[in-house]
Structures are given as C-alpha cells and as structure tokens.
Structure 1
Amino acid sequence: MKHRDHSRKTANTHGTSAPIATHRPDGRRWRLLALLILALAVLPAVYALLPLITRRRLLRLVTAKPDLPAAPGRQPAWQVGMLRPDGLRIIPSGRSDASHVLDPNQFSDKDIRHSYWVATQIPAVLNQLYCWCGCENRGVHRSNLQCFEDKMAVDCAVCQGTAEIAYQMTRNGVRDAGKIQAAVDAKWAPKG
C-alpha cells in the first residue's frame, strides 16, 4: 500500500510544483464575525442591567435638589428631607417589611446587633423615617429602614440612633410616624 500525499500540488509552466492557494477569508470578515460574537455576548448583559441603571437614574431624579431658587413669595417644590404636612420628610416607598434587613446575628458588637434587631421589629415605622445620615444624597437610601438593608448602619450613630428613638417611642405607644420623625429631627437634624 502506497502512502498518499494529501497536499495538492500543481505543475506550473516551468515544470516545478507549487502549492495551490487555499481560500482564506479576508481580515474584514473575521473582524465582522468577532464583532457579531461580542455583540451577542454583551447585549444580554446590557439588557439585564438596564432596569438597575434606569432605577438608579430615576432615583437620582426624584431625590435631586432643584438648582433654581423658588420665585419670591413662593415655596420651593417639596423634595426629600423637607418637612411635609404629615410630619414626614420622605414619601414612604419600597418594602415596609424586614425581608431585606441584614441578619442581626452576623454582628459581634452587641449595639450593632441590637440596632439591626430593632429594624426587624419595626420595619414599617423605619420605612417612613428620614435618616439624617445623608445617605439619600448619594442616591442610596430613601428611609432609615434601608440603612439596615446593607452595612450602612454598622458605623453610623445617626442610623442606629434613629432606629432606637423609633423603637422606644413605639414601645411607649406612639404610632404616629410624624411624631417619631419630630423626635428624630430634634436629636439628629442640623442645628441652625
């Protein structure tokens, strides 16, 4: 049995053999194919992240401070942090349950553990309270409850103190969130 040479050769006019040119796609086709594969890989990720990006942008628009002062004799439009007629400084939104509050038992410090435990006890009250820690200025939180849904409250005496005021007042029978907000304001609002 003879060994076959699979490489094809042709004879040219001078009697020597030269390899036949194989067809290769030019660089443009490869680049186009690479771009198409990249687009197919990236587009689902962008589509999945779009709601998060849009939600943050909307939150920034809702919590943004107006650039222009109010016309003389007119009150500026309400914004987060301004006192409303009901005594609150936010419009409660999001969850009012403790389903996203971090587990208090993960903290070794007893005061931090207690603060996160409080958030699990009165989430609907904390969801109505403005927290003077300033986290809403970064577009992160809208209520004191949300400070306990991540580690914001771990190092923040304002977050912890707001929750403790609310907890003590609800234990004493105060159910009006406007009155609780007034007590929080008296303790934590900037003076002057």
Structure 2
Amino acid sequence: IPAAVVLGPFFARHPVLSSTTGKAGLQEQVHSETAWHVGMLRPDGLRIIPSGRSDASHVLNPNQFSDKDVRHSYWVATKIPATLNKLYCWCGCENRGVHRSNLQCFEDQMAVTCAVCQGTAEIAWWMTQAGVQDAGKIQAAVDAKWAPN
C-alpha cells in the first residue's frame, strides 16, 4: 500500500506538517492566530501601541465650537494629549483608517458628534485630576464605560 494512501488522513488533519515549511510554518500559523491587534488588551492594560504625536499641536481649537460640552472635550485634549494618545477609543474611528488613539479623534471633527470620543477624554481628565497617571487604569475605566459587552 503506498504511503500516501496510509498517511493521507494524517496529513489531512495536520496540514502544517505536510507542508515544506515544517516547524517554522507551524510557528507562523500559531503566531498569526494569536498576534496582538489594535483593540486587544495588552499586558500593560492598553489597547494600542502609543505612536505618532503625543502633543496637542494638531488638536482643533476648542473655541471654534459653540456647544459647551464639545468645547470642553476639545479643551481637555489640549491639556492631557499624552494621556489621550495612550487610550483606545471605542467609537469605531479605527474604521476610518489608521487608528492612533483617542487624541486623534480631536485632531479633526470626529469628536464633535461622538459621545464615545468625548466621554473617553472626560474619563481621562477626571482620573488624571484625581491623581491617576497609569494609562492602563484609565483605559480600564474607559473600557468599563464604553466597551461592548
């Protein structure tokens, strides 16, 4: 009986082993299935890898908004940009392209009509005012309020 007939069912159940990549292929397959992605909780309590600007240089001027809540949330972004740059925003803005952070939501008009963007910044503001500097703890509070169940 040819080996292919006998071992065929084995290779059907273990396709990585039947490939020419061998162990390396198995490691790549496992890595790709468990790889971290934006939104997935990291060991440091964050859901993004902070990158890009962490200053308020691109935050829209809060004074251009007539609504006091919108104006306040944009003002917050000018006061704690480095903190907001560490926070994942549950508003779905990552669907607009590259998602950097909650800070990015205030660099355009995304946050004008978004309670999630504004609320994330407000949570961060009140927690930093209470002395919380650990962005992982702030992210946990944001998650408790805005993450889907």
Superposition TM-score tier, normalisation by shorter sequence: 0.7 to 0.9
- The structure that has the greater radius of gyration is 1
- Determine the C-alpha separation between the residues in 1 that align with 2:81 and 2:140: 18
Alignment partner, residue 102 of structure 2: 144
In structure 2, the partner of 1:80 is 38
Q: Which residue identity does 1:90 align to in structure 2?
A: I
1:131 Cα deviation (Å)?
0.1
Q: Tell me the CA shift for residue 87 of structure 1.
A: 0.2
Helix, strand or coil at the partner of 1:167:
helix
Identity of aligned residues (%): 83
Tell me how far 1:143 sits from its aligned partner.
Answer: 0.3
Structure 1 position 105 matched with structure 2 position 76: no
Gaps of 5+ in 2: 1-27
Instruction: Describe the SS at the equivalent of 1:96.
Output: coil
Tell me what 2:118 maps to.
Answer: 160
Which fold has the larger relative contact order, with Cα–Cα distance below 8 Å and residues 6 or more apart in sequence? 2
Say if 2:130 is the partner of 1:172.
Answer: yes
Contact 1:141 1:147 in 2 (8 A): no
Q: Going by fraction, where is helix more abundant, 1 or 2?
A: 2
Greater than 4 Å deviation, 4+ residue runs: none
Amino acid at match of 1:98: A
Structure 1 gap ranges (5+): 1-69
TM-score (norm 1): 0.60
